[in-house]
Chains A and B, each alone.
Chain A
Amino acid sequence: MTDGGARAGRRLTRALRRGSWGGIAIVASPAASAHTAGDGAGAFYAGLGHLFSDPAHVLLLLAIGLGLGLRPSPTARFGTWSFCLTLLVGLGAAFGFGLLPGLDRLLLALAAVTALSLVVVGAVLPGWAVLGMASLSGLAIGLDSAPPDGPWQASLMMLSGTLLGALMGVVYVVVIVGYFQKPWQRIGVRVAGSWIAASALLVLALRFAGV
């Protein structure tokens, strides 16, 4: 690995260390019921819970996290940033325009394609394709996270929960996979990618079957 790559990796870990303090501060607030789209922390946890209770979101987050984690540090870093920025754009659009129908199928198809191309196939894809997939994933998750009708403050808190959950989900997976350097570990990640793709295909079939 080049010196530039090592410095980039150290900057990333320092940023994550600082960011984790912010995450602790944010989530240390008392939690109300996650199903109440009400004020404050309840709405925040509703957004967080909705993200991790939707199989399409979870599969796509895992797929993009695993895929970015297998890439070199600069690509992983830029891919993560691309995901974050387009996620913000998608959440903003969801806040303004509400839920778009049929996005869950797009997310599942994207999860399958992402897992297959970035994780199973591996490093044959060029960097721009990886960034494109990361951007598309962030945008899709954001657009599919529209809050229910209610006070705008609660909607904003829900979207904040979704934002933090998605960022944590992707960043954690990217960093953890980045530490997998042994061949058997990276093989394990590829096998996990095949599971993600398989699960996404099955869930997609269920959606088309109307289940």
Chain B
Amino acid sequence: MHNGINQSTPTAGSRALLRWLLLPALMALAPLALAHEGAGVAGGLLSGLLHPLAGPDHVCAMVAVGLWGAFLGSPAIWTLPVVFPLVMAFGGALGVLGVHVPAVEIGIAASAIVLGLMVLCAARPALWIAAVLVGVFAIFHGHAHGTELPSAANPLAYSIGFVVSTGLLHLFGIAFGLLTRWPAGRIAVRAGGMLIALAGGAFLTGIA
């Protein structure tokens, strides 16, 4: 996937140039680290980064998106992790603006069940179907995050933090999903999908 873009390859001289570029950047930004106390922006960023991790239902669904994308292969392996945060942001915006979305918690639990089953059953629908499915569930996740945003210590940094955290969970799922290149890995991945689906069922029924 070159897309007709610059074909030059990095050389030792180019890497040296990158070091030249980093040096003034570090020197310029170093005084700012001393000038700002970290509780506001940094605290909000950290809270946002940790928020998706505090909800096992969120974690299961995010990992499942990455798993399923890796299982489907290119271009789903990057399309799904691109679609999810974008639609999640839309759902988050709805939550911030106070727009009601029904059955958010049920939708979040259902996302873990459905996406886990997709991986377990090795489902390979068309890319647009997979993207629509992921997008629908992303609205529920985003709405859940968005309703909590205005009460966060630093909502702006918080929102950036949880978007990044969501993306990193996708990456974890993708990394796990890459095991499908081996036969034993395919079994492990599908078993992971089963566990995610079971976890989703536990969340939906209130067992967990």
Q: Do A and B come from one complex?
A: yes
* Cβ–Cβ contact B23 & A24, under 8 A: yes
B205 within 8 A of A: no
User: Per DSSP, are chain B's interface residues mostly helix, strand or loop, or mixed?
Assistant: helix
Residues of A within 8 A of B14 (CB): 13, 179
* Cβ–Cβ contact A1 & B6, under 8 A: yes
Q: With A and B bound together, what is the CA distance between A161 and B58 in angstroms?
A: 41
* Cβ–Cβ contact A191 & B7, under 8 A: no
Q: With A and B bound together, what is the CA distance between A194 and B65 in angstroms?
A: 15
**Contact status of A201 and B89, CB under 8 A, knowing A181-B9, A195-B164:** yes
**Which residues of A does B touch, CB under 8 Å?**
1, 5-6, 9, 13, 16-17, 20, 23-24, 26-28, 31, 33-35, 45, 48-49, 52-53, 55, 70-73, 76, 116, 120, 122-123, 164-165, 168, 172, 175-176, 178-179, 181, 183, 186-187, 190-191, 193-195, 197-199, 201-206, 208-209, 211
Q: With A and B bound together, what is the CA distance between A206 and B25 in angstroms?
A: 31
Q: Considering only CB atoms and an 8 Å cut-off, how many residues of chain B contact the other chain?
A: 54
Residues of A within 8 A of B23 (CB): 20, 24
B173 within 8 A of A: no
Stretch from B31-39, B109-117, B128-136 at the A interface:
B31-39
Task: Give a binary string over B94-127; 1 marks a CB under 8 Å from any A CB, 0 the rest.
Answer: 0011100000000000000000000000000000
Q: With A and B bound together, what is the CA distance between A123 and B5 in angstroms?
A: 8
**Contact status of A181 and B7, CB under 8 A, knowing A24-B24, A191-B81, A201-B89:** yes
Question: In chain B between 1 and 48, which residues have their CB closer than 8 angstroms to a CB of chain A?
Answer: 1-10, 14, 17-18, 20-21, 23-25, 27-32, 34-36, 41
- Which of A20, A28, A53 has the most B CB atoms < 10 Å from its CB? A20
Q: With A and B bound together, what is the CA distance between A194 and B83 in angstroms?
A: 8
**Contact status of A205 and B92, CB under 8 A, knowing A34-B35, A211-B149:** yes
A–B complex contacts, Cβ < 8 Å, 15 sampled:
A13-B14, A26-B28, A45-B35, A48-B28, A49-B32, A49-B35, A52-B32, A55-B160, A172-B21, A186-B1, A195-B167, A199-B160, A202-B149, A205-B97, A206-B159
B200 within 8 A of A: no
Task: Give a binary string over B143-178; 1 marks a CB under 8 Å from any A CB, 0 the rest.
Answer: 000100110000111011001100100000000000
Q: Which 3 A-B pairs have the closest CB atoms?
A: A31-B31, A34-B35, A23-B24
* Cβ–Cβ contact A6 & B8, under 8 A: yes
